[in-house]
Structure 1
Amino acid sequence: MKVLVHHDDAERWQKALASRLPEAEILTSAAPTDKRRQADYLAVWKPPESLLREPEALKGIINLGAGVDALLNNPGLPADVPIVKLRDAGMAEPIGDYVRYGLLHFQRDFDRYRRQQRRREWREHAMTDKDDWPVGVLGLGAIGARVATMIAADGFPTHGWSRSPKHIDGVTCHHGDNGLATLLGRVKSLVLLLPDTPATRHIINDETLSRLPEGASLINPGRGSLINEAALLDALGDGETEGRLRGAILDAFPEEPLPEASPLWSHPRIRVTPHMAGPTPLGEALDQVASALRTLEAGESLDTVDPTAGY
């Protein structure tokens, strides 16, 4: 079994994967062309088009992350090759902590105190109890379900939404178009953890933002394509006074790094972070990758990505 690794930290992944798969030959994309052509499997993160076209008898692709949009949108992606993505692999916990920070940022009025500090204004705001701060989580996959459970355990009334029905203890689950409308009308903070698919692109738009209660907030540690930027900026207003939307914490963007000219950088009601909410813990990820490769090599069934669905 020959596995070709492409990643910003490819040598580290190569060494760690070799220790888990001593029976395999683990290469990186820096290997000679003839070696790359012989690869049975690719273990990759945002590979170039040329790399996807090189293997002559590819058996499978492991996506070294939970988001597969960059891979599925790559014109070099071969047809009819099974794709396996990381499913949580330890990312849910740090993403959950990121969301918890975001919720406290708004629920405890840290956004307002920050603006008051700039004005040297000393004024306390009455605290809203957690049980009066309903939270909505869009996307109830492996990560979204775990994050929703963490939020509920913290005492926030938690609503979750997915395309098809789900059941999660402690979470009020909604589904379908009617369920989305119901959830949006009830929550003070909205968390985005959906995949990037044709059905989810710009799911946050003028219409959906208008359904949120006045003064709601948005937290996006998911995919940048979920938000219509113009609609978000319109809902936030000019920043001097609160618009319909109170504020947003954004970790993912359609173009990364976020261009210097983007108005998101300077908007006083937006906090920008550089796609750091859910770093991939190497150990757990490698265990998943090694297990998936052995399963594929054995010809056994495996939960693979559906390219038409986008996840």
Structure 2
Amino acid sequence: MSRIAFGVRLANGHDRLTSITCIDPSKGTALSALLFYSEQDPAELWSAELQSALPSDIRVRIYPDLGDPTDVEYVLCWQPKAGLLASFPNLKLILSLAAGFDHVLQDPDRPVHVPIVRIIDDTLSTMMSEYAVYAVLGFHRFMPQFQSDQSNKIWKKRWPNFTPDTHIGVLGIGAIGSDVAYKLRGLGFQVHGWSRNPKQLEGISCHAGKDGLFEMLPQCQQIVVVLPLTSETRGIVNKETLAALPEGAFITNIGRGGHVVDEDLLAALDSGHIGGAFLDVFNQEPLPADHSYWDHPKVIMTPHVAGEIVPRSCARSIAANIERYRRGEPLDGIADIERGY
């Protein structure tokens, strides 16, 4: 809350420092603040969009302008530095500037009683599914090979598999993964979806658990990873799962870098068992300059851009969630720490 301090002369002649809370007369409520923290995102643009979308009694601050820490009730952040979240005694919500929230858990001092909320936004889902479709179609139509042929002045025709006979496996069929699956199904592919617990998606062959994973993988010419990063999904793309795929299969990862055991994927690429990899996320970001992915002829890389957060669209969903919180209603995207999503 915003406060103004002033001195008061008491009847006994002593002075006392006191304060008053600033009230927004239009709302009749105490002013509060939302702090924006990200070293990668356009802070000024976010500030303008948030201030336009939020209730008028909430002021947006951009780190390092903390102001009075007691005013800060909401923090919207990407990879908050250790100790930052613990600086605000009246913090009510931690708003993740992403579809996931594992980056928030890296802060060992975060107040564990404060709920974490993920971004839930149709624009984000659309962007990620577009990226996945682009990657799948590129591999399906041999675009990486044609680019290589062009560089080497080679004129060579290549014929894709018949689309209805091509099986694509989507690992992770939550909001984003199911959107990916349906878009691929709409293009005529045979689509499989895998999740840790049983799910049903119309027109999608669904599999669950470890047995279901190894039932699905041998059928798939391509897999797309859209999973949350949890203790159970970390390293899921490893020597064992790669070996279960058919010879020449392709992999797209738009989930988290931690899903892939880099050494195992590189070995499978070098052996020819895996035909190519389209990677948007990595175990270490930015990717070190000496990493083997940079120069690998079968790897296409992008710098974690599959699902960029669009400030205008997401600011509205963030504001709507804050208003739900104030009314005591269930929140969209509330994080389940134990389950990891």
Q: TM-score range by the shorter chain?
A: over 0.9
How has the CA–CA distance of structure 1 residues 143 and 305 changed in structure 2, closer, same or farther, with 3 Å as cutoff?
Answer: same
Structure 2 stretches of 5 or more lacking a match?
A: 1-31
Moved more, 115-124 or 263-272: 115-124
Q: Which has the bigger relative contact order, CA under 8 A and spacing at least 6?
A: 1
CA shift, 1:232, in A, is: 0.1
C-alpha distance in structure 2 between counterparts of 1:127 and 1:55, whole Å: 57
CA shift, 1:114, in A, is: 2.6
Is 2:210 the partner of 1:177? yes
C-alpha distance in structure 2 between counterparts of 1:145 and 1:199, whole Å: 20
Give the match for residue 322 of structure 2.
293
Give a deviation string over 1:215-252, Cα, whole Å, max 9, x none: 100011111000000000010016xxxx1000001010
Is 2:63 the partner of 1:29? yes
AA aligned to 2:105 is L
CA contact (8 A) 1:139 1:160 kept: yes
Structure 1 stretches of 5 or more lacking a match?
A: none
Give a deviation string over 1:161-213, Cα, whole Å, max 9, x none: 11112122221111111111111111001000001111111000000001001
Aligned residues: 306
Secondary structure in 2 matching 1:145: helix
C-alpha distance in structure 2 between counterparts of 1:277 and 1:52, whole Å: 27
Secondary structure in 2 matching 1:50: coil
Secondary structure in 1 matching 2:69: helix
Which protein has the bigger strand share?
2
Superposition pairs of residues 1-311 of structure 1, within 5 angstroms: 1-7=32-38, 8-21=41-54, 22-32=56-66, 34-237=67-270, 243-303=272-332, 304-311=334-341
C-alpha distance in structure 2 between counterparts of 1:42 and 1:119, whole Å: 51
C-alpha distance in structure 1 between counterparts of 2:83 and 2:295, whole Å: 37
CA contact (8 A) 1:5 1:42 kept: yes
Moved more, 188-197 or 1-10: 1-10
CA contact (8 A) 1:89 1:280 kept: no
CA contact (8 A) 2:83 2:108 kept: no
C-alpha distance in structure 2 between counterparts of 1:120 and 1:294, whole Å: 59
CA contact (8 A) 1:87 1:143 kept: no
CA contact (8 A) 2:83 2:110 kept: no
CA shift, 1:11, in A, is: 2.4
Secondary structure in 2 matching 1:236: helix
How has the CA–CA distance of structure 1 residues 10 and 36 changed in structure 2, closer, same or farther, with 3 Å as cutoff?
Answer: farther
Moved more, 147-156 or 295-304: 295-304
The RMSD of aligned alpha carbons is 1.5
CA shift, 1:76, in A, is: 2.4
AA aligned to 1:154 is L
C-alpha distance in structure 1 between counterparts of 2:116 and 2:251, whole Å: 32
C-alpha distance in structure 2 between counterparts of 1:258 and 1:140, whole Å: 27
CA shift, 1:58, in A, is: 1.3
AA aligned to 1:2 is A
Normalised TM-score (structure 2):
0.86
Secondary structure in 2 matching 1:49: coil
Higher radius of gyration, 1 or 2:
2
C-alpha distance in structure 2 between counterparts of 1:73 and 1:307, whole Å: 12
CA contact (8 A) 2:220 2:249 kept: yes
